[in-house]
């Protein structure tokens, strides 16, 4: 059942809701989830530059990726409008590097979508998620992004979201500050090089 909208949510209710979302993320399969304040969200121009140097193969192919994603100033304004967020991760076996990340990335996207929806129906109608990987590779890897076609919209409007790194968020630093281990994974990384691969997402709540 939906909860009525409250302009000022009592602190005890808000804290209880945030903890419920954290626990729900774990119940849905997250390896870990933590509540953060939005001043712990780190936005850095250098992160967005990594989309260009070297240019990511997804650049310009999705409405949720640069250059179509909000610029960093807009992202900062969006984040500033919230006070709290849930940082969510799924760790996958290192052999995911060889097999491809489709199933894990999809699971992570759906998990974020469910937490965002849960918050929405609890009255946090502006709740907004940021994904752990590019939506193009997760949902439409073999098709053109329909949202970039005139007169069409996204095929997966309730799951596809801008990735944290596509919005300029420094995921590595945020995760490290949260006390979690995370490792850089690139084209030359071998499964034996890392103990696990991490997918990180964020849901802005209130």
As for how many domains the chain has, the answer is 1
Interval 76-94 mean pLDDT: 96
Classify residue 183: in a domain, yes or no: yes
Q: What is the span of the domain harbouring residue 142?
A: 31-204
Beta bridge partners of 34: 87
Classify residue 138: in a domain, yes or no: yes
Q: Which two tokens stand for residue 171?
A: 């995921």
Classify residue 118: in a domain, yes or no: yes
The reported pLDDT for the residue numbered 60 is 93
Residue 100 has pLDDT above 80, yes or no: no
The reported pLDDT for the residue numbered 98 is 67
The reported pLDDT for the residue numbered 99 is 62
Residue 101 has pLDDT above 80, yes or no: no
The reported pLDDT for the residue numbered 147 is 94
Cβ atoms of 139 and 61 within 8 Å: the answer is no
Classify residue 198: in a domain, yes or no: yes
The reported pLDDT for the residue numbered 137 is 87
Separation of alpha carbons 177 and 114, rounded Å: 25
Helices (H), the chain: 11-27, 45-49, 72-80, 96-99, 102-121, 135-139, 171-177
State yes or no: cis peptide before 67, omega within 30 of 0: yes
Cβ atoms of 132 and 164 within 8 Å: the answer is yes
The helices-and-strands tally (H runs, E runs) of the chain is 7, 4
CB under 8 Å to 158, separation ≥6 — which residues? 113, 117
Classify residue 157: in a domain, yes or no: yes
Beta bridge partners of 85: 36, 204
Classify residue 89: in a domain, yes or no: yes
pLDDT in tens, 13-65: 999 999 999 999 999 999 999 999 999 999 999 999 999 999 988 899 999 99
Residues constituting the chain: 206
Interval 92-107 mean pLDDT: 82
Interval 189-203 mean pLDDT: 94
Residue 87 has pLDDT above 80, yes or no: yes
Strand-pair category, 32-37 with 84-92: antiparallel
Q: Which of 4-18, 92-106, 188-202 has the lowest mean pLDDT?
A: 92-106
Separation of alpha carbons 101 and 120, rounded Å: 28
Helical (H) or strand (E) element with 84 = strand 84-92
pLDDT in tens, 123-174: 999 999 999 888 998 899 899 999 999 999 999 999 999 999 999 999 999 9
pTM: predicted TM-score of the whole model, two decimal places: 0.94
Classify residue 151: in a domain, yes or no: yes
- DSSP reduced 3-state for 67: coil
Classify residue 6: in a domain, yes or no: no
Beta bridge partners of 35: 86
């Amino acid at each position: 059942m939906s909860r009525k909208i409250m302009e000022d949510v009592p602190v005890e209710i808000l804290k209880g809701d945030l903890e419920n979302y954290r626990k729900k993320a774990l119940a849905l399969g997250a390896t870990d989830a933590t509540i953060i304040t939005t001043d712990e969200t780190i936005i850095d121009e250098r992160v967005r530059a990594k989309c260009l140097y070297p240019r990511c193969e997804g650049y310009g192919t999705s409405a949720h990726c640069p250059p179509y994603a909000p610029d960093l100033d807009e992202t900062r304004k969006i984040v500033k409008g919230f006070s709290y967020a849930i940082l969510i991760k799924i760790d996958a076996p290192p052999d995911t590097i060889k097999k491809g990340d489709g199933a894990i990335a999809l699971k992570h996207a759906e998990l974020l979508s469910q937490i965002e929806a849960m918050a929405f129906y609890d009255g946090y109608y502006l709740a907004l998620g940021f994904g752990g990987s590019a939506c193009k590779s997760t949902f439409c890897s073999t098709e053109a992004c329909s949202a970039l076609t005139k007169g069409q919209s996204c095929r997966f409007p309730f799951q596809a979201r801008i990735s944290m790194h596509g919005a300029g968020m420094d995921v590595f630093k945020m995760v490290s500050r949260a006390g979690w281990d995370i490792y850089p994974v690139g084209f030359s990384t071998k499964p034996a090089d890392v103990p696990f691969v991490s997918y990180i997402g964020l849901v802005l709540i209130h």
